[in-house]
Structure 1
Amino acid sequence: MVEKVGVERIAMPVTVRELDMERDLPAVEELERQCQVGISGAQGSAAADGAKKGKKKKKRERMSLCVEQIGDPLARVRHAPEHVMLVAECGEKMVGVIKACTKMVSRGSIRSSKNTSPSSGLPTQQQPYVKVAFLLGLRVSPYHRRLGIGTTLVRAAEEWSRAHGAAHATMATTVSNKASLALFAGRFGYAPFRRPVLLGRPVHARRLPLKRHHRVFQLQPALAAAAYARLLPPQDTEFLPADMPALLAHKLTLGTFVAIEGSDHHTATTGAATTDAEQPSFAVLSVWDSTRSLSMRVGGAPALLRHSLAAVRALDRAAPWMRVPSVPDIFRPFGAYLLYGVRMSGPAGPALLRTLCRHAHNVARKNPACAVVAADLAPGDPAAAAVPSWRRFSCDEDVWCIKNLSDGNADPSDDDDWAAPAPPGSVLFVDPREF
């Protein structure tokens, strides 16, 4: 597809086509290097900043967590049967990319539609699952911004999503990324609707002790899927993937773990039903290894902080018996383990969840490439208060935006407002495959 955008500003048309892995991989990797995405959501390029003239003073660099995709450029969408990566070219130069995929996810609380059933005259109800498109990884070369290239890529991704039957399209950005919000919310009519928080903490060199009366067990994928079916019913959970069993059995899911107090071993391992009065306390979560596809790096740190942390690491190596809580070199690229399906129950639930997070930390210690353990949760989720985190490795600026793609593909009765606040008790599921 070829479309002319901003003809008065671009001398040649912008061509949008699908990715050719062998031909385009070097150019895509270079574009990713140019477009660093920080925890604030801002995209930038050191080369582009350096090319700007007329500035007498260099702007002081702020400390931020930079995120970069590594390896397979389709890693965030390849798991979906329907996925695409579109590239934009100006002449023979690649100037932008965007990824998209579609999948069936839970709609959350089933709301009554405005339409009525012909037989009963009562309002019809929506199906618990709906096909949603996810637009990911929009990148535009720092040298070719404000020329309509992002608009062209988003339009092409939406057309692809409609052609594959998506009823809605979603994207994620941050509140500080004004350019992204102006494009999606302003030009394309996406509505901000959910604000998950990323809670992260560094992996210490030392193993974290677990409470003696807490017991941690690993569930097999089939048993984990059965447990989540009860803990995350689609009518109460937003964005739960219909292929949850496949996610739990994926090679990058390192395991699903449950923590209970010592006397509850039988219930946790057999799934035996209990009455409300007998319901034990427990916590459960799954661990996803993103070190193969995601690279992070803390940039803009003052020299004093860099040298201080390096000195602590050196002391820990020289005198391990002192058990100094040193952390990896976070100023070089590092990977992360992501916690998903984080749930807890009962009066001891928060303490058990903290034990599970410590267990996940100890699992991460075995991978030299992993320096951070993080979880993405809704801010109102009670589990968010129990997940240990450091402010420097956390972010509360994320915002999800959504748009109805109704053009005959969407259910005509699907006219309620998904952008409305989530109902009380609703759970937001963040799929680690799209992180």
Structure 2
Amino acid sequence: MGKEQSRVVVREYDENTDLEKAEALEKSCAVGSLSVDLMGDPLARIRQSPSFHMLVAEIGYERKEIVGMIRGSIKTVTCGNIAPFHRLQDGGVSPESTKLAFVSGLRVSPFYRRVGIGLKLVQRLEEWFRRNGAVYAYVQTESDNDASVKLFTDKCGYSKFRTPTFLVNPVFNHRVTISRRVTIIRLAPSEAEILYRSRFSSTEFFPSDIGTILNNKLSLGTFLAVPRGEYSTGSWPESWAVLSVWNSKEVYRLQVRGTSRFKRTLAKTTRLVDGALPFLKIPSFPDVFRPFSMHFLYGIGGEGPRAAEMVEALCSHAHNLARKCGCAVVAAEVASCEPLRLGIPHWKVLSPEDLWCLKRLRHDRDGRDWTTSPPGLSIFVDPREI
């Protein structure tokens, strides 16, 4: 083991020479119930970020083999409840922000595991984070992925920080009916940015470059829901909700593996019936047993006694948009205590519990420590990191 590990070289990923080997490694690691196909670009999921980096672990002398890889990105976000906030001249408050790094895409070849390659990749990526001014680093993983959780919490010094839920809803063959009590308005990116900054800039993980996200070609639009007849009065309604749609279809595809033939046949039957008799509006199980794509709903928020109803109408609109685009599912990720999650349709069998782990890379100003802060009701989930 020691000899194999000593021959491992960690270096920066080279798009011109490493693409084929990186794709092969990605496929060799797809041994779980859910595999990911990155559409031929290992950097696709972080390339939209303002600052990104990718490393590979290489072994061998004359015939070199890539046996591990990792991706990372850096952005500025709101850190949530580590008040006091800075006071503004008009008497308001400015939420505290920090430079946050994101760890993703850690892969190690099944033939070279348990020799420290994953740890080496994380440590080298953290060196790049520190050189580029990141104060914190975080990683998203499934709560039941014991190997990943142990690596980051036991060996890399990360703390279990937040436990959001990844809510997944199938896209049916039939259109979903949108409540007649609700009016849905498409916002221009500039209008959406004003709304997000004015209403959600103090939400934990809110990105300072929200305008870049909303103007990204993968962002399919931002939609505002209000009670019918109230928006035209010119005053802001008591109840409202907003969300944006991200086209993950252009970045990666997913596939569920290891399901029995009986369950696949049963799922296919529901799709056939739904397709033949769409007026019955039978909930059909999507074909997730072959490579499929999804739309991701982000920036979910709202206020008022009917906010959950507004969110449900927006999710119905997003479902119909995903159906038109040929997606199998729509998904959203929200905080475990998010009050609006009641309005987000999802199937529990498809919706895993997530775990976000956070690490302080250097001391923040004034000695504040985000890793020990209590969770808020909501988090802002960046679609570039899903």
* TM-score, shorter chain, exceeding 0.5: yes
State the distance in 1 between where 2:5 and 2:114 align.
Answer: 14
Q: Mean Cα displacement is larger for which, 331-340 or 176-185?
A: 176-185
Percent identity, aligned pairs only, is 41
* Residue matched to 2:337: 380
Give 3-state SS (helix, strand or coil) of 1:185's partner.
helix
Per the TM alignment, residue 417 of structure 1 is displaced from its structure 2 partner at its CA by 4.5
* Residue matched to 2:170: 202
1:328-354 CA-partner distances (Å, limit 9, x unpaired)? 422101011111111122111111111
Does residue 46 of structure 2 align to residue 88 of structure 1? no
State the distance in 1 between where 2:383 and 2:187 align.
Answer: 19
Does residue 83 of structure 2 align to residue 111 of structure 1? yes
Alignment check: 8 A CA contact 1:126 1:413 kept? no
Does residue 24 of structure 2 align to residue 24 of structure 1? no
* Residue matched to 1:362: 320
Cα RMSD (Å): 2.1
Give 3-state SS (helix, strand or coil) of 2:167's partner.
strand
Alignment check: 8 A CA contact 1:104 1:129 kept? yes
State the distance in 1 between where 2:118 and 2:258 align.
Answer: 28
Give 3-state SS (helix, strand or coil) of 2:294's partner.
strand
State the distance in 2 between where 1:65 and 1:392 align.
Answer: 13
Alignment check: 8 A CA contact 1:15 1:88 kept? yes
State the distance in 1 between where 2:172 and 2:272 align.
Answer: 14
Alignment check: 8 A CA contact 2:360 2:369 kept? no
State the distance in 1 between where 2:181 and 2:59 align.
Answer: 63
1:179-235 CA-partner distances (Å, limit 9, x unpaired)? 21222111121111111100011100111111112111100011111111122032x
* Residue matched to 1:119: none
Does residue 346 of structure 2 align to residue 411 of structure 1? no
Alignment of 1:246-395 (within 5 A): 246-266=212-232, 272=235, 279-318=237-276, 324-368=282-326, 370-395=327-352
State the distance in 1 between where 2:264 and 2:332 align.
Answer: 26
* Residue matched to 2:8: 14
Per the TM alignment, residue 320 of structure 1 is displaced from its structure 2 partner at its CA by 5.1
Among residues 123, 131, 136, which one is paired with 2:99 in the alignment? Answer: 131
Distance change in 2, residues 1:387/1:317 (3 Å): closer
Among residues 224, 231, 251, which one is paired with 2:192 in the alignment? Answer: 224
- Show structure 2 runs of 5+ residues with no match: 86-92
* Residue matched to 1:57: none
1:24-69 CA-partner distances (Å, limit 9, x unpaired)? 1111111111112xxxxxxx37xxxxxxxxxxxxxxxxxx444443
Does residue 33 of structure 2 align to residue 77 of structure 1? no
Does residue 74 of structure 2 align to residue 102 of structure 1? yes
Give 3-state SS (helix, strand or coil) of 1:263's partner.
coil
* Residue matched to 1:143: 111
Distance change in 2, residues 1:374/1:318 (3 Å): closer
Q: How many residues align?
A: 376
Give 3-state SS (helix, strand or coil) of 1:136's partner.
strand
Among residues 355, 358, 361, which one is paired with 1:399 in the alignment? Answer: 355
State the distance in 2 between where 1:323 and 1:170 align.
Answer: 41
State the distance in 2 between where 1:67 and 1:328 align.
Answer: 17
Per the TM alignment, residue 309 of structure 1 is displaced from its structure 2 partner at its CA by 2.4
State the distance in 1 between where 2:304 and 2:281 align.
Answer: 34
Alignment check: 8 A CA contact 2:82 2:370 kept? no
Moved over 6 A (4+): none
Alignment check: 8 A CA contact 2:142 2:352 kept? no
Q: Mean Cα displacement is larger for which, 142-151 or 347-356?
A: 347-356
Length-normalised TM-score, structure 1: 0.81
Per the TM alignment, residue 326 of structure 1 is displaced from its structure 2 partner at its CA by 3.3
Aligned residue identity for 1:385: L
Alignment check: 8 A CA contact 2:246 2:297 kept? yes
Does residue 206 of structure 2 align to residue 240 of structure 1? yes
If you compute each CA radius of gyration, which structure gives the higher value, 1 or 2? 1
Aligned residue identity for 1:330: V
1:242-273 CA-partner distances (Å, limit 9, x unpaired)? 10011111111111111111121226xx6x4x
- Show structure 1 runs of 5+ residues with no match: 1-5, 37-43, 46-63, 114-124
State the distance in 2 between where 1:88 and 1:322 align.
Answer: 53
State the distance in 2 between where 1:100 and 1:94 align.
Answer: 18
